[in-house]
Amino acid sequence: MCPVQELQDRVAQNRLHHFEMVPGTEKDRRPKGDPLRAVKEYARPAAGKDATNPTDLRPPAVLLKTVHYLINEIAATPSRHPWTEVYGFVFDRLRSVKQDMIIQRVSGSECAALLEPIVRFLIYASYRLCGEPLRLYDPRINDTHLQEYLSWLLDCYTADGGPNPNQEEFQALGLLYNLDSMRARQHAMELPQQLRTSSSVTLAMSIGQAFLERNPVRLLRLAGGLSFLQTCALHRHLVACRRDLLLIYSHGFSSRNCRFPLDRLARLLHLDSALAAQLCQLCGLRVDLENQVLFSKSAFVEPKQTSLDCKLYHRKISEKQTSLSRLLLRGLHETNTD
């Protein structure tokens, strides 16, 4: 997974990541590199450097083995932490995989097989690392790369022409992640009828329609039928969706004598009562001692972005999680009926 010369150079320069060291030598003055664990790192193209040297390029079969190693042995291993460090290592090595793919012009089913687990990993990372400090995780950089990989993958499906067993999954993921994109919606509407009417794409389109109509109650209800990875793709839109629900109800139930049961509101928001009450308070809405919400259009305030800690609302999503390795490599469609 790593050219011999690069491994030797990085050992000599003490540039090995501890994931690549021979176990037991991590604290040595010059740790030993493990050829079975070292992975070619990303390097920007440099003037005068031959990027097409066959000894430095990994063929598609080796690239696929590399991606599976990064997912199985690094990203999905619970003992490896903190996960921000895991993400940083895997993200860099996946960029190197992409570099080798571009140089060799990998295409067709080989290209799709490489891109699919990468897209799953980046979608999962956008959920797992949401709210982390910028010095550890930059959501904009992750989004930029995810959009590029996703676009490349969907173009692969189009160019290949034939049926792909995972195409339905990724067409739906693209719609859910880009819920506010008319371009993504237009692309989905131009899909072949069999694919466009498949269960995952139909559900994603319905959620997108609810988003366009500003119908957060329907959107959150439909989101309950998504798999874990699909919910990870959608999750970046959920805080704004819940805020919209409170804004609409603040106008619709704005009355001195009106009381709305907190437990019923929590079910509509798909949160537990404590988090629903906290979200109400962030929006300037009062919850009385009898757990009744007092909606008021004059009292509603826009919550500060810094006060909306997305991680607080992750529990419902986490309940859907399955084996991370199986999830990222095969994209299980396990629906939660909650």
Annotate 76-137 with DSSP letters as a single string. Answer: T-TTS--HHHHHHHHHHHHHHHHHHHHHHT--HHHHHHHHHHHHHHHHHHHHHTTT--TTT-
CA distance 78 to 90: 15
pLDDT tens readout for residues 113-156: 999 999 999 999 999 999 899 999 999 999 999 999 999 999 99
Are 300 and 247 contacting, i.e. CB atoms less than 8 angstroms apart? Answer: yes
Residue 335's pLDDT is 36
pLDDT tens readout for residues 69-110: 999 999 988 888 899 999 999 999 999 999 999 999 999 999
Q: Locate the domains of the chain by residue range.
A: 39-164, 240-312
- What value does the mean pLDDT take over residues 310-325? 67
Are 121 and 328 contacting, i.e. CB atoms less than 8 angstroms apart? Answer: yes
**Local confidence band at 299 (pLDDT 50, 70, 90 cut-offs):** very high
Contacts of 273 (CB under 8 A, 6+ apart): 262, 263, 266, 291
Record the pTM. 0.90
Map residue 175 onto helix, strand or coil. Answer: helix
**CATH tag, 240-312:** 1.10.10
**In the predicted model, is pLDDT for residue 290 greater than 50?**
yes
Pairing of strands 260-261, 286-287: unpaired
Write phi, then psi, for 286 (nearest 5 degrees).
-95, 140
Average model confidence (pLDDT) across the chain: 89
- What value does the mean pLDDT take over residues 170-185? 95
Residue 81's pLDDT is 82
Are 15 and 31 contacting, i.e. CB atoms less than 8 angstroms apart? Answer: no
